[in-house]
């Protein structure tokens, strides 16, 4: 047992808040969810803490129980996610909790994974009191893309684009480097790093020859690189930078966004960062397969050139694809807008 003080106030909330802080230390872009756990001994003191450090490492409950030792017996395990009930790269956490002799298990989010869920019922069958749903919304927010993927059977898709104020992603001569400033470009790398895969079409590869890696401001590669994905049937030159050894790459000779996402879901990809050109972006939008938009708007005007998105099949303002802004902020000289895709409006208002 540690010499940490006992929790005060409502018995489970402080421990769950601490578990949420621990969980946030886990990696984003991992096949597994971020999970935190706190073991509270029978006398109310904190006996052990832990978080999941990524696929293949010990789960949060196992780490916390190991640190708690015998003090876990008769105590309470507070976990941000329902303890798993299956054997993967590691054993089931339900068995670890039963063997440790805890008397109560409190968890936040119910597990949406059909392979791993069922932990609550297993613990109750072993005579352990289970308290579900404590700070469930906060717990779910830790693993937004992971949860989305299991609920919808496909990865969550974020479409990122950079454009001028008049909606151009490239000039008439095709030049597009750089529309936004260095601060915005660095911000893109931070957001890329949170995703599992970066997706472009063959047209983008042939036109821009991007490397699609995640880099530090000094240009050096970050330790973890998302999967690079190229969709389309055009042949990619053998010397294309996207085929180098800086990060893994997969090629899908496919134009159907749903089939691409299905294949990625089967590879445990939960969050796709869509950086393709206007044609690929339009295909995903027309298919209803974009969930979030991250737009970087530069305070410049071109007046002509390539549009940020291709034809969406919309011919009247009443059918416009409406977005719900979730954040608007300046990044250097540019403006970043994050928005959720809501739905096609049924309004028939006249243009203003």
Handedness of CA 57, 27, 211, 269 (dihedral sign): positive
Q: What is the pLDDT of residue 55?
A: 82
Q: By C-alpha distance, which of 28, 97, 112, 29 is closest to 59?
A: 97
Annotated active-site residue 61? The verdict is yes
Confidence at residue 89, expressed as pLDDT on a 0 to 100 scale: 65
| Domain 13-142: top CATH class | alpha beta
Selecting among 49, 61, 140, 275, the annotated active-site residue is 61
Mean pLDDT by 10 residues, the chain (352 residues): 42 93 89 94 94 90 95 96 81 92 95 85 95 94 93 96 91 82 94 94 91 92 94 94 95 94 95 92 94 96 90 88 94 96 49 33
The phi, psi pair for 185, rounded to 5°, reads -65, -40
Cβ within 8 Å of residue 219, ≥6 positions away: none
Domain boundaries, the chain: 13-142, 150-344
CATH architecture under which domain 150-344 falls: 3-Layer(aba) Sandwich (3.40)
Whole-Å CA distances, 155 to 50, 117, 240, 263, 287: 28, 19, 26, 10, 14
Distance CA 64, CA 79 (A): 10
> What values do phi and psi take at 134, rounded to 5?
-80, 120
Which pLDDT value is given to residue 10? 66
Number of residues that make up the chain: 352
Bridge partners (DSSP) of residue 344 are: 321
């Amino acid at each position: 047992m540690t010499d940490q003080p006992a929790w005060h106030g409502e018995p489970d909330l402080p421990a769950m808040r601490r578990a949420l802080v621990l969980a946030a230390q886990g990696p984003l872009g991992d096949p597994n969810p971020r999970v935190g756990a706190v073991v509270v001994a029978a006398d109310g003191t904190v006996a052990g803490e832990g978080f999941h450090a990524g696929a293949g490492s010990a789960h949060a409950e196992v780490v916390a129980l190991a640190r708690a030792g015998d003090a876990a017996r008769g105590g309470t395990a507070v976990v941000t996610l329902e303890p798993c009930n299956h054997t993967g790269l590691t054993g089931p956490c339900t068995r670890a909790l039963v063997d440790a002799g805890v008397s109560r298990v409190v968890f936040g989010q119910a597990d949406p994974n059909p392979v791993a869920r069922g932990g609550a019922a297993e613990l109750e069958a072993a005579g352990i009191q289970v308290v579900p749903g404590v700070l469930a919304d906060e717990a779910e927010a830790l693993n937004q893309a992971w949860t989305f993927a299991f609920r919808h059977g496909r990865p969550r898709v974020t479409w990122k684009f950079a454009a001028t104020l008049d909606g151009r992603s490239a000039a008439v001569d095709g030049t597009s480097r750089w529309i936004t400033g260095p601060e915005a470009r660095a911000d893109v790398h931070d957001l890329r790093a949170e995703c599992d895969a970066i997706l472009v079409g063959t047209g983008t590869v042939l036109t821009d020859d991007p490397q699609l890696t995640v880099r530090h401001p000094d240009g050096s590669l970050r330790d973890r690189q998302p999967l690079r994905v190229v969709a389309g049937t055009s042949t990619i030159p053998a010397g294309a930078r996207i085929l180098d050894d800086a990060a893994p790459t997969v090629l899908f000779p496919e134009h159907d966004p749903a089939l691409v996402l299905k294949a990625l879901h089967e590879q445990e990809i939960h969050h796709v960062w869509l950086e393709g050109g206007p044609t690929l972006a339009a295909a995903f939008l027309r298919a209803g397969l974009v969930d979030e938009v991250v737009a970087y708007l530069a305070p410049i005007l071109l007046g002509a050139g390539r549009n940020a998105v291709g034809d969406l099949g919309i011919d009247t303002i009443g059918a416009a694809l409406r977005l719900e802004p979730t954040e608007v902020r300046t990044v250097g000289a540019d403006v970043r807008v994050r928005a959720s895709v809501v739905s096609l409006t049924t309004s028939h208002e006249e243009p203003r």
